Structure 1
């Protein structure tokens, strides 16, 4: 990283990348309106908008339909495979209500909402409340719930986990960034080394404690993740908290990079992605180079935090929500979460009132496709409680 990428970044965003970022985003959207509260709501709504744009959203929302409808979808997929048919099936509502397949948010927005609702609980306790519940979640979360049920505590519940590296905690971290409060003196937190590994210091109870977004996101992440999965959560929380405070994407990028060591996969990828976006000068223009540089298209799941978070940071650095989120959705293998993470950052820059009204209407109401108890809840009302 001491070569071209390191030179482009100059060790921080005060160099060439920072200059281009400040000019690109500042020229496009300037400072966000509505103050910190408007930016906090913009982060949440931006995440929900991004969640809705990715093709997986309809797949998630289709789980509100009877199982036989998804079985028919699989049979049509098999038919296309066996007969050389290029007409590919999409989620459909045969003899069922069509509302679940309307444009709207899915898993990422619901897990953000759950984190907001449980933000004052000790994190392992909050997750224990989900054991046995009829929920849908990432592999890291379902494995962690099994670990907790067997008596395994954090950080082992996140470390002894086949998907310790995924971005589930990075999505939840947006809630801690929105809350964005400094810790009280004497508050106990889990301490981390520069690779995101807990040092084993005592954890506070979490009840009524004024929060440090980065540390609290790390404490949440250690329940389900380790390594890059924890670093990603800390980076997203720091980035969102910074942009909610100042309205400047350059501050968000500085905060994120401070949590991503150069010699980690996520740190390397973040700096490479930012250099690519700075050279491209536009989110859409950056997509082919990001695809070529970061995505090997080998693994069967596109939720690695070392990929989705760097892409989100890079696209958010290159332009506003209306250009960055659709660009993230173009990276099909990362479309389950990269658009949502990109939307959280760019939505905070723009502020709630700058997000198009049609998108705001479509994205704010949750369906309960992953967390049934959240069906019908208004995400914006939940955010008002902590912003």
Structure 2
């Protein structure tokens, strides 16, 4: 049972320019949040304050996206190729062709969930068995979920369905729920939903009694009290790993709610809470970027975001997150398809 009344669709904007602005805002917002949060990853707020005071902008000399951005590009290109016809077989084949079958970057395939997935795929295991590893509950799907919300703008349920297809290769349980919440939230924001409605859309696609839903509700309930309250409400104290999907997704939505959808405040709130700061800031950035559009992203934050360096996925080097946004926006002469059957254009830039 979903945790709020089922939200199957949100009124889609009729302005293609506005839709493009939101799509670019969502995906560039993800990359900006990723780059801003990367230096603070795995840190406590006290450690962040001791090193930088309060983070108010880039603290890295050469800011760039991490695995969050590169996997979002990967999933976005795959989605642009197959659209609503995406199947687990498509996803599995792409992982083999573009990740498992190629040399890895210095990140060696990214986080624990990605490592476990790659090991299983290389052993010949197929989805969903390939997702049976110790970190199937991680935020690795949530970090790449925003493109599904962009593609299924105004259709949170369809965004949640598609991201679950993508996640079937690498995640299970709460890992899937986290990705669905993010994808649905972005889909609602793409259609101009208010922050309250964005949160409701996220909650509507995950089980009411799931860890993800409980954490998300706690986070947004105390969001008006600020980042310390949000962090205290959901962080699993003493647990050594920071990539728990229910925790990271709740922190991101809490930051977004605390900022009432404002891009700058949402991202900086997520960064300064620490933990898996690159992912939480990436998700908060995607939600707020879809809500406010690309013009809300400070130019000094947008400027350093260039084509992916391939640090994690060498096969993604040279792809720009904004190019992915363009691939996922429906053609100007294409009508909104509320049945979820419309396919994205088969452009040469998409994964085949």
TM range (shorter): 0.7 to 0.9
Conservation of the 8 A alpha-carbon contact between 1:41 and 1:383: yes
Structure 2: runs of 5 or more not aligned: 7-14, 43-49, 52-59, 330-352
Alignment of 1:152-163 (within 5 A): 152-158=125-131, 160-163=132-135
How many residue pairs align between the two structures? 289
- Equivalent of 1:53, from 15, 36, 43? 36
Q: Deviations over 1:84-119 (max 9, x none)?
A: xxx98xxxxxxxxxxx95122222111111111222
Alpha-carbon separation, structure 1, partners of 2:172 and 2:40: 26
Give the CA RMSD over aligned residues. Answer: 2.8
Alpha-carbon separation, structure 2, partners of 1:215 and 1:168: 17
- Equivalent of 1:318, from 258, 261, 264? 258
Q: Give structure 1 regions of 4+ aligned residues with deviation exceeding 3 angstroms.
A: 55-59
Q: CA deviation at 1:181?
A: 6.3
Alpha-carbon separation, structure 2, partners of 1:51 and 1:248: 23
- 1:124 correspondence with 2:84: no
Alignment of 1:25-174 (within 5 A): 34-56=17-39, 101-119=61-79, 120=82, 122-129=90-97, 130-133=99-102, 134-135=104-105, 136-158=109-131, 160-174=132-146
TM-score (norm 1): 0.69
Q: Which moved more, 1:147-156 or 1:111-120?
A: 147-156
Alignment of 1:1-387 (within 5 A): 34-56=17-39, 101-119=61-79, 120=82, 122-129=90-97, 130-133=99-102, 134-135=104-105, 136-158=109-131, 160-180=132-152, 212-277=158-223, 279-280=224-225, 286-319=226-259, 320-387=262-329
Structure 1: runs of 5 or more not aligned: 1-8, 14-31, 60-86, 89-99, 184-210, 281-285
- Change beyond 3 A, Cα 1:58–1:275: closer
Q: CA deviation at 1:33?
A: 11
Q: Deviations over 1:106-134 (max 9, x none)?
A: 22111111111222261111112221421
Secondary structure at the aligned position of 1:363 is classed as coil
Q: CA deviation at 1:356?
A: 1.5
Secondary structure at the aligned position of 2:275 is classed as helix
Alpha-carbon separation, structure 2, partners of 1:124 and 1:52: 28
Conservation of the 8 A alpha-carbon contact between 2:41 and 2:275: no
TM-score (norm 2): 0.75
Alpha-carbon separation, structure 1, partners of 2:69 and 2:40: 10
